[in-house]
Amino acid sequence: MAEFTFELNDDQREVRDWLHGFAADVMRPAAAEWDEREETPWPIIQEAAKLGIYSLDFYAQQFFDPTGLGVPMTMEELFWGDAGIALSIVGTGLAAVGVLANGTEEQIGTWVPQMYGDANDVKVAAFCSSEPDAGSDVASMRTRAVYDEAKDEWVLNGTKTWATNGGIANVHVVVAVVDPELGSKGHASFIVPPHTPGLSQGQKFQKHGIRASHTAEVVLEDVRIPGSCLLGGKDKLDERLARAREKAKAGGGERVKNAAMATFEASRPAVGAMAVGTARAAYEVALDYAKTRVQFGRPIIENQGVAFQLADMATQIDAARLMVWRASWMATAGKPFTKAEGSMSKLYASEVAKTVTAQAIQILGGNGYTREYPVERMHRDAAIYTIFEGTSEIQRMVISRALGK
């Protein structure tokens, strides 16, 4: 187990600088264009693949960094470049985490590589959990998975929504209900292989921010998949459902793992790091502007009202980063989130991103409100962090429950 430290080692600094160069030289110059187009930036994803940034090997190296800082460091730098393009590059990772959290070694080895493709033929993957009537309330999920024992196949029916890469993905990871009587404990995750009949893209959403990232509904109509596509396998599922039924009869007791929640628990600090990257980007624009914008004969940073705003922004960003790093290190070190530290990091960082990007617009004044400057886009992008992968209200609920134990 690596000891916690605030200092990146030489290898981590080298990776950080490499990512920063890609974000500055490739992502930022293209950010406004792809935001306006509202399309997946395939050329940039391919460029990332050629450089080795969009690849299973790279993310595996960061995921298994013994300090736990590889993933948050990567997310911060890419989202410093541009949130929409970055989410197109890293969105596949949520589906990959879903397989890593719930799948067997064979399933991981079979499906995760197919999520990325290669530099000559890049692919993306989608994690499909939310539904039109089941966002934060996962117990209201309606997508059903029924086992056809004679054919050893699962049949999936339902509609998923808010799926990053939904419908354009090579591999879809779908959370579905296998036992409605057990509520959220009766869920399981499934792999839907490429070109499976019955899976189609529904509505593609036109969004307030992160517009370069594809978000759509996924419609499942009698989708038949092999029994081997149940993540974790049927024996493990049957055992888990049996425990849940026994606990339900006994009136509660030990918490039973939920497939979707396992994915979100693993990814919350990473989302916090995304928020830190966007906040840092907006802060840097505001700081540079304040140093060069002259009003009443002096740079506006010499005005206490502006200087104090920048001081608060810098402090909040550093505090958010430290919370993200602590949670990431704890997860890697196997230390339990006894006070919901993962949710704390996501909650605080996402709220900081909204606050800091709004302050950046205020510092730039009328210029900040125009698309000529990037803080307008950054503010739109920041709004998503308090919503996806658990709203701020859900994070507060998780934290309060942990504190009340």
Residue numbers annotated as active site: 389
- Evaluate whether 49 touches 118 at the Cβ level (below 8 Å): yes
**What's the per-residue H, E or C state across the chain?**
CCCCCCCCCHHHHHHHHHHHHHHHHHHHHHHHHHHHHCCCCHHHHHHHHHHCCCCHHHHHHHHCCCCCCHHHHHHHHHHHHCHHHHHHHHCHHHHHHHHHHHCCHHHHHHHHHHHHEECCEECCEEEECCECCECCCHHHCCCEEEEECCCCEEEEEEEEEEEECCCCCCEEEEEEECCHHHHHHHEEEEEECCCCCCEEEEEECCCCCCCCCCEEEEEEEEEEEEHHHECCCHHHHHHHHHHHHHHHHHCCCCCCCCHHHHHHHHHHHHHHHHHHHHHHHHHHHHHHHHHHCEECCEEHHHCHHHHHHHHHHHHHHHHHHHHHHHHHHHHHHCCCCCCCHHHHHHHHHHHHHHHHHHHHHHHHHHHHHCCCCCHHHHHHHHHHHHCCCCCHHHHHHHHHHHHCC
Residue 104, CA distances (Å) to 45, 77, 234, 237 in order: 28, 31, 11, 12
118 vs 103: CA distance, rounded Å: 22
163 vs 257: CA distance, rounded Å: 22
- Evaluate whether 287 touches 310 at the Cβ level (below 8 Å): yes
Q: What's the CA angle centered on 303, arms 301 and 305, to 5 degrees?
A: 100
Q: What's the CA angle centered on 16, arms 10 and 19, to 5 degrees?
A: 145
Tokens of 361: 């617009």
